[in-house]
Amino acid sequence: MFELTGKTAVITGGGSGIGKATAMLFARRGATVHILDIGEAACAQVVREIREQGGQASAHACDVTRQADVHASFAAIGPVGILINNAGVAHVGKADNTGEEDFDRVIGVNVKGAYNCLHAAIPRLKENGGGVIINMASVAAWVAVPERFAYSAAKGAVMAMTLSVAKDYVQEGIRCNSISPGRVHTPFVDGFLARNYPGQEAEMFERLSKTQPIGRMARPEEVAALALYLCSDEAAFITGSDYPIDGGFITLNA
């Protein structure tokens, strides 16, 4: 079950966190993995790790906010069967203290970046006879999260885009779903705590962990496992759905 042998997967933001975990897992399950990431060194390191484990992977330095760069990367890749729209950035702020530059950056990566990859991937999926798209949304698209104005707006758009794509291409064999993680322990979290709470990292990490009713943050590998299921043939009847993976955050905090 859950094999991806013979399938080609493009994973954006695959240099760390959820993207890296997904790339590693998909390669172990037989997929040929292509990682698109603006961080060239991190991207190359993941590819090395995959190849050391006997998997197939390639790195593509790519700024997903630039459509020409995205199309060039997809042209180099060739036929595609799976797209994981994972690249994203966050921002802390309310509507009245979120600057225009920060708002544009969050929308540019999280929304336009996803659109650019859809624009490049969908024609290739159609040529392939169908395929699977996973867009990484967030619990912030479902419920109010304090001081996440731009991020919530972006992830709400990602969820709506998922429904639109699922509707428009269902007859062409393309399935499109989204995943909405709660807090996940990634390098971004560690960097955020180091920048904003120097000397209090452990205390703040514990506090953030306890905002999840289950009592901890998710591991990137847990989100990757859900993505694997949704991209596998075992999920062939699933499209147009969002899957929270949040330790009970949405329902148990209501």
- Provide the pLDDT for residue 191: 87
- Provide the pLDDT for residue 247: 95
Q: For the chain, what are the domain ranges?
A: 8-182+222-243, 186-217
- Give the span between the Cα atoms of 125 and 241, in whole angstroms: 19
pTM for this structure? Answer: 0.95
Give the number of C-alpha atoms closer than 13 A to the C-alpha of residue 142, restricted to the C-beta side: 20
- Provide the pLDDT for residue 153: 98
Catalytic residue, candidates 151, 169, 229, 243: 151
- Provide the pLDDT for residue 212: 92
- Give the span between the Cα atoms of 12 and 20, in whole angstroms: 9
- Provide the pLDDT for residue 187: 86
Q: Determine whether 169 is an active site residue.
A: no
- Provide the pLDDT for residue 75: 98
CATH class of 8-182+222-243: alpha beta
- Give the span between the Cα atoms of 55 and 80, in whole angstroms: 17
Q: Is 108 helix (H, G, I), strand (E, B) or coil?
A: helix
Sign of CA dihedral 237, 239, 241, 245: positive
Distance of CA 118 to the CA centre of its chain: 13
Per-residue pLDDT of the chain (254 residues; tens, 9 = 90+): 899 999 999 999 999 999 999 999 999 999 999 999 999 999 999 999 999 999 999 999 999 999 999 999 999 999 999 999 999 999 999 999 999 999 999 999 999 999 999 999 999 999 999 999 999 999 999 999 999 999 999 999 999 999 999 999 999 999 999 999 999 999 888 988 898 889 999 999 999 999 899 999 999 999 999 999 999 999 999 999 999 999 999 999 75
**Nearest of 54, 15, 49, 12 to residue 31 by alpha carbon:** 54
- Provide the pLDDT for residue 58: 98
